[in-house]
Structure 1
Amino acid sequence: MNDLKAIKKQLRLETLARRDALPLDWRIEASLKMAETAATIQFEPGTIVSGFWPMRSEVDVRPLMFALREKGARLCLPAILDKTTIVFRELVRGAEMIEMGYGTTGPGEDAAVLDPALMLIPLAAFDPRGHRIGYGAGYYDRAIARLHDLGMKPRMIGIAFDCQQVNYVPDEPHDVVIPEILTESGLRRFGDSF
């Protein structure tokens, strides 16, 4: 188990270094290009979509989130409650944004807590099978497990740049496979989920 954690940690460090090396202007253009994918993401108006406020050199999904809102999505962002738990708070125009830790912001405690039916998930690394590496805290694995326990099967779309792809991500029993990953090259689908 420790070997797997060490391998994942090394893969995370390598892919995040590649992502950090991308020029800011290029990342902005790639993020805007990825927002154009909103037209191909099908959902019913009123669907709850979780996104994330970008930190460090992450893909800026705000243009994509707002494009989805224009199509009728109800948006929410993760809020860290403690060292193991995130919930998703509604993102509405004009609402106060507060510091969430780890260099990100989100809606305050007054915002409604929602359960997303479509999740945009930040990735540190991914492989051609749709296996992923997050940032190592397991927040999304636990949040997805909680939604499954509620009988929900949210559609999950991982968000990353192409340079974050690796040949192979080692599997662990708690890992969640992401059936779709959006990069600047487009939306990739894995398995027979769609």
Structure 2
Amino acid sequence: MDMHGNSLKTLRQDLLRRRKEFTAEKTHAPTSEHLIAKLNEFLAEAGSSLQSIALYWPIQDEVDLRLSLLAWAKSDTGRQLALPFARPDKHLEFFQWQEGDHLTPSQHGVPEPDPKNSQRLAITPDCILIPCVGWSSTSDGSNTRYWRLGYGGGYFDRTLAQLRKNKPSLICIGIGFDWQKLDDAQWSAQTHDEPLDILITESGVFR
């Protein structure tokens, strides 16, 4: 992938354009299916220890994980799904979501739950799935950490920093494709960036 200039804005635009082009390629459907299969492997392995998962509503060619997560939720009565709501203070709040709920587009065009709906409570999920525009990894020999490049609003980093203080067991999972991996010359995580606990791509579940 040709990366020109050091501007983060340019990098994001390049990655989003590449993702749009990727959806038209023959490899897109099988690659997405492989990624969803890896998510299903994770859910089969770790899903029984989770009561609530926050997903994202797919926009801009993001991988659609809804069917897998609805199946996970339906397989046990105690399980809940949640969707993020972007607050004016640029933090995310997560509200219970069920199939068929009315959603309203946010200022960024993302369908969101209605925070005034008394039937759907705000929850702190056990696990949060986050789509990556790009991703990178850093290693100190014994440990590898995974990092997400997002859309640039900082919502997830602010939210994760807060939620992790209150709920250290929280699992944050980045969802991306292998080709979205960035090297240090393209992008490296900054001090305010929150690491991912797990990265899932079509190649595997990386911890």
Question: Is this a same-fold pair by TM over 0.5?
Answer: yes
Deviation of 1:34 after TM superposition, in Å, equals 2.5
* Distance change in 2, residues 1:105/1:176 (3 Å): same
Deviation of 1:108 after TM superposition, in Å, equals 1.5
Deviations 1:96-154 (A, max 9, x none): 12222322212212121110111101111101331221110110011111212324331
Selected match of 1:40 from 30, 39, 42:
42
Instruction: Give SS of 2:22's match.
Output: coil
Equivalent position of 1:64 in the other structure? 68
Instruction: Give SS of 1:44's match.
Output: helix
Aligned-pair RMSD on alpha carbons?
2.2
Deviation of 1:83 after TM superposition, in Å, equals 5.0
Specify the code of the residue in structure 2 equivalent to 1:31.
S
Matched, 1:52 2:78: no
Identity percentage of aligned residues? 26
* Distance change in 2, residues 1:30/1:90 (3 Å): farther
Question: Larger deviation: 118-127 or 9-18?
Answer: 9-18
Equivalent position of 2:143 in the other structure? none
CA contact (8 A) 1:53 1:77 kept: yes
Larger Rg: 2
Matched, 1:18 2:18: yes
Question: How far apart are the structure 1 equivalents of 2:49 and 2:167?
Answer: 21
CA contact (8 A) 1:19 1:161 kept: no
Unaligned runs of 5+ in 2: 1-5, 139-145
Equivalent position of 2:3 in the other structure? none
Question: How far apart are the structure 1 equivalents of 2:169 and 2:157?
Answer: 13
Equivalent position of 1:9 in the other structure? 9
CA contact (8 A) 2:54 2:125 kept: yes
Specify the code of the residue in structure 1 equivalent to 2:101.
A
Matched, 1:122 2:114: no
Specify the code of the residue in structure 1 equivalent to 2:63.
V
**Aligned residue-pair number:** 184
CA contact (8 A) 1:85 1:142 kept: yes
Deviation of 1:174 after TM superposition, in Å, equals 1.1
Unaligned runs of 5+ in 1: 1-5, 190-194
Instruction: Give SS of 1:79's match.
Output: strand
Matches within 5 A, 1:15-164: 15-24=15-24, 26-37=27-38, 38-41=40-43, 42-44=46-48, 47-72=51-76, 73-109=79-115, 110=117, 111-129=120-138, 130-164=146-180
